[in-house]
Amino acid sequence: MLLTEIDHIAIAVNDLASAVDYYERAFGAEVHHREIVERDGVEEALLKVADSYIQLTAATRDDSPIAKFLEKRGEGLHHVGYRVDDCQAALDAMIAAGATPIDKAPRPGSRGTTVAFIHPKGSLGTLIELVEE
């Protein structure tokens, strides 16, 4: 089994501050990490759950993929991050199994991780992010 943990569940939100406030009030959650990822046009707030995260994600610019997702679909579940020991090996295995990669090669993700995204088409309608810590 190549997957070692559910790394994170990413939820697209319109307003990061009010989304964080809601999770704080509802669950007593605390922000563990916050980061703007310029190349993806997102700002993330990571709430730790055991060894996984809930990643609340907002757009930082109108042309980012998250902005387009929010415009089309509204707030909601955006992708699942699966933790792996070796992002390249997991990407190769998924491609061999018939998956369509969005990233042809692993690249830097937030919090110093190495990541690769897989297109939902061909992966049961789920946008998958492979995450190597």
Query: Which residues make up the interface to Co ion (CB under 5 A)?
Result: 10, 81, 129
Query: Is 129 labeled as catalytic in the residue annotation?
Result: yes
Q: Which of 43, 78, 79, 132 is catalytic?
A: 79
Query: Is 133 labeled as catalytic in the residue annotation?
Result: no
Task: Kindly state the tokens that stand for 86.
Answer: 């070796």
Task: Kindly state the tokens that stand for 132.
Answer: 């190597």
- The amino acid at 72: K
* Separation CA 101–CA 104 (nearest Å): 6
Q: Which of 24, 33, 43, 55 is catalytic?
A: 55
> Considering beta carbons, is residue 10 or 87 the nearer one to Co ion?
10
- The amino acid at 98: G
Query: Is 8 labeled as catalytic in the residue annotation?
Result: yes
As measured in angstroms, the least distance from the Cβ of 92 to Co ion is 20
Q: Which of 8, 43, 78, 132 is catalytic?
A: 8
Query: Is 71 labeled as catalytic in the residue annotation?
Result: no
The CB density around residue 19, as the number of other CB atoms within 10 Å, is: 20
> Considering beta carbons, is residue 11 or 93 the nearer one to Co ion?
11
Query: Is 44 labeled as catalytic in the residue annotation?
Result: yes
As measured in angstroms, the least distance from the Cβ of 125 to Co ion is 17
As measured in angstroms, the least distance from the Cβ of 4 to Co ion is 16
* Separation CA 46–CA 111 (nearest Å): 10
Closest CA relative to residue 39, chosen from 107, 113, 119: 107
> Considering beta carbons, is residue 41 or 81 the nearer one to Co ion?
81
Whether the Cβ atoms of residue 112 and residue 44 lie closer than 8 Å to each other: no
Residues serving a catalytic function are: 8, 44, 55, 79, 129
